[in-house]
Homo-oligomer: A and B are copies of this chain.
Amino acid sequence: MTDFAPLNSNVGEIETIIRNWEHAIQTGDMAAIIERHADDIVMYDVPEPLQSKGIEAYRRTWDLFFHFGAPGPGVFVIEDLEISAGEDVAFAFGLLRIGGSEEPVCRLTLGLQKRAGQWVISHEHHSGPHALEPSKTA
């Protein structure tokens, strides 16, 4: 159907993993949030630190997230999700509505690998753009 159909053979499976993860965030289910993540995940989150390496550090980024916003259907919503999937490597990206925002305010990129026959998320990058005006408060 498209020029790149061979890239997309695993798209459905990966979309299910991502939507299940999104649902786990909305329900605050930490076990489900980290269920399909690699032990060696490298996370770039919206707030500091610059990076968080490993599944325990990744879990703490969600502890921080829920410190600022309670679980709920609007707490973390992925829009315009696009997935590029090969046989054993994939990436996905989209925009994020956060904490009940009506419009997207952040961006999300995921990297996935098929390891031992199972897709896992091994990299995440969440961010909010910075305003163009130089900060007056250093």
A88 in the interface, Cβ–Cβ < 8 Å?
yes
User: Cβ of B129 and Cβ of A45 under 8 Å apart?
Assistant: yes
Min distance, Cβ A54 to any Cβ of chain B, angstroms: 14
Min distance, Cβ A20 to any Cβ of chain B, angstroms: 21
- A82 to B88 CA separation, bound complex (whole angstroms): 16
A84 in the interface, Cβ–Cβ < 8 Å?
yes
User: Cβ of B87 and Cβ of A51 under 8 Å apart?
Assistant: no
Count residues of A near B (Cβ-Cβ below 8 Å): 42
A137 in the interface, Cβ–Cβ < 8 Å?
yes
Which residues of A are in contact with B by a Cβ distance under 8 Å? 3-4, 6-7, 42, 44-51, 82, 84-91, 93, 95, 104-105, 107, 109, 111, 113, 115, 122-123, 125, 127-132, 136-137
CB closest residue in chain B, given A107: B44
Residues of chain B within 8 A of A107, CB atoms compared? 44, 50-51, 125, 127
